Amino acid sequence: MADYDVIVIGSGPGGYVCAIRCAQLGLKTACVEGRETLGGTCLNIGCIPSKALLHASHQLHEAEHNFEKMGLKVAAPKVDWKAMLAYKDDVIGQNTKGIEFLFKKNKIDWLKGWGAIPEAGKVKVGDDVHSAKHVVIASGSEPSSLPGIEIDEETVVTSTGALELGKIPKKLVVIGAGVIGLELGSVYARLGAEVTVIEYLDGITPGMDAEVAKQFQKILSKQGLKFVLGAAVQGVETLKTKAKVTYKLRKDDSEHTIDADTVLVSTGRRPFTDGLGLADLGVKMTDRGQIETDGHYATSVKGVYAIGDAIAGPMLAHKAEDEGMAVAEILAGQAGHVNYDVIPGVIYTHPEVASVGKTEEQLKEAGHAYKAGKFSFMGNGRAKANFAADGFVKILADSKTDRVLGAHIIGPMAGDLIHEICVAMEFGAAAEDIARTCHAHPTYSEAVREAALACGDGPIHS
């Protein structure tokens, strides 16, 4: 008889949610984790600590730029970097201990160590081998780099090192204008660093709605971030007291160098499957190094499943969570399902940027007739009162049926506002359904309603 019904490898958002859902559904469950704390990349060195630093640095910005406008007279704030990092670490501790409590509450065994799968139905952790009817791989991802760039996590860092620098750099070069680079770049810009972002493509945030991306870059530029676009990084030379980044502009092949105290390499992430023994096990992989799965998250080896960053799809914590719940329900004999057309994405800068569904560019490319309803936060009373009137809401709807196809928000609390659209899309709502729903005044959410009204006869406050 197997030791467990399910063993989950990895305790990140996908893994721990999967383990908890399995336990809730009556399956005897264990979770393998080699870190000293649960929660994976997200809680330990990713989503949670970065949001703590984003929050702290935004409060600094408010004190420096907006307090006096509101009649709040205070001395110029000083940054205690060690205390800020301690606050960040405390936030991590609260969250990781919370997962440990949930494991105990749901009677989930934490198998401490790094896991491997010597054969189907077996998981080796250290010297111990455990048996299970089902094994779920939720091993997550790791930062990827560029050829010829050596990461030391001190001068040349990934997001991991950027969250625990010994001091605030005077000059920070960010390689890659994606979500991670822009979030951490904005943190250090608020803290006084001179931040330059180098991006290979001709625009920031690849894949984002082009109108939003253009506005986003303008706003970040006003906040002090400098952008070098269409540039291919050739290498990074680490010297005694600084680093030199060399890049070529694609438009004329001219070569340039820029000095930095710290270089943040944020060129994406790749699946982390090292040490699992997948090749010997016979698990099929994709050309991109992801674990190949079917529509029910099953791999090519019977009894072995995979979810999250280790498989195809957007590398998002909430996508992994949904897949964790879905595969748990499938293993319990239920019908687990994830709607990949309604997975929001959020950038937690200020203002925030959030999106769900199709972009205008995707709809045009597909030849899908649509209409766009747009509303600026300049017309929102709450946003103006809170010095948060930059940005807009844009809703895309089918030109005939009015069904919502996507939405893109840049503005205050965009990461929360987007979920109204997610629910609407999940239930196949029309833009008119949102427009006819009463929204409390004064709230940021009124901008969403106004954008929905703009898909019809027009907004009221514009």
CATH number of the domain at 383, please. 3.30.390.30
According to the annotation, is 165 in a ligand binding site? no
Write down the pLDDT at residue 128.
96
According to the annotation, is 316 in a ligand binding site? yes
| 325 & 398 share domain | no
Write down the pLDDT at residue 1.
79
Write down the pLDDT at residue 31.
98
- Measured CA to CA, the distance from residue 60 to residue 87 in angstroms comes to 14
Which residues are registered as beta bridge partners of 227?
Answer: 197
| 8 & 112 share domain | yes
* Domain-embedded: residue 108: yes
| 161 & 259 share domain | yes
- Measured CA to CA, the distance from residue 363 to residue 280 in angstroms comes to 43
| 182 & 262 share domain | yes
- Measured CA to CA, the distance from residue 99 to residue 96 in angstroms comes to 5
According to the annotation, is 391 in a ligand binding site? no
| 137 & 31 share domain | yes
According to the annotation, is 178 in a ligand binding site? yes
Write down the pLDDT at residue 240.
86
| 205 & 286 share domain | no
* Domain-embedded: residue 462: no
| 366 & 397 share domain | yes
According to the annotation, is 431 in a ligand binding site? no
According to the annotation, is 242 in a ligand binding site? no
| 221 & 112 share domain | no
| 307 & 257 share domain | no
| 133 & 226 share domain | no
Q: Which domain holds residue 101?
A: 4-142+270-331
According to the annotation, is 182 in a ligand binding site? yes
| 15 & 130 share domain | yes
**Residues noted as catalytic:** 441
Q: Pick from 331, 356, 375: which residue ends a domain? A: 331
Q: Supply the CATH number for residue 31's domain.
A: 3.50.50.60
* Domain-embedded: residue 434: yes
* Domain-embedded: residue 150: no
Write down the pLDDT at residue 241.
84
Q: What string of pLDDT tens digits covers the 462 residues of the chain? A: 789 999 999 999 999 999 999 999 999 999 999 999 999 999 999 999 999 999 999 999 999 999 999 999 999 999 999 999 999 999 999 999 999 999 999 999 999 999 999 999 999 999 999 999 999 999 999 999 898 899 999 999 999 999 999 999 999 999 999 999 999 999 999 999 999 999 999 999 999 999 999 999 999 999 999 999 999 999 999 998 899 999 999 999 999 999 999 999 999 999 999 999 999 999 999 999 999 999 999 999 999 999 999 999 999 999 999 999 999 999 999 999 999 999 999 999 999 999 999 999 999 999 999 999 999 999 999 999 999 999 999 999 999 999 999 999 999 999 999 999 999 999 999 999 999 999 999 999 999 999 999 999 999 998
| 239 & 109 share domain | no
Sign of the torsion angle spanned by Cα atoms 117, 118, 119, 123? negative
Write down the pLDDT at residue 148.
84
Number of domains observed in the structure of the chain = 3
According to the annotation, is 176 in a ligand binding site? yes
Write down the pLDDT at residue 2.
84
* Domain-embedded: residue 399: yes
Q: Pick from 267, 284, 315: which residue ends a domain? A: 267
According to the annotation, is 179 in a ligand binding site? yes
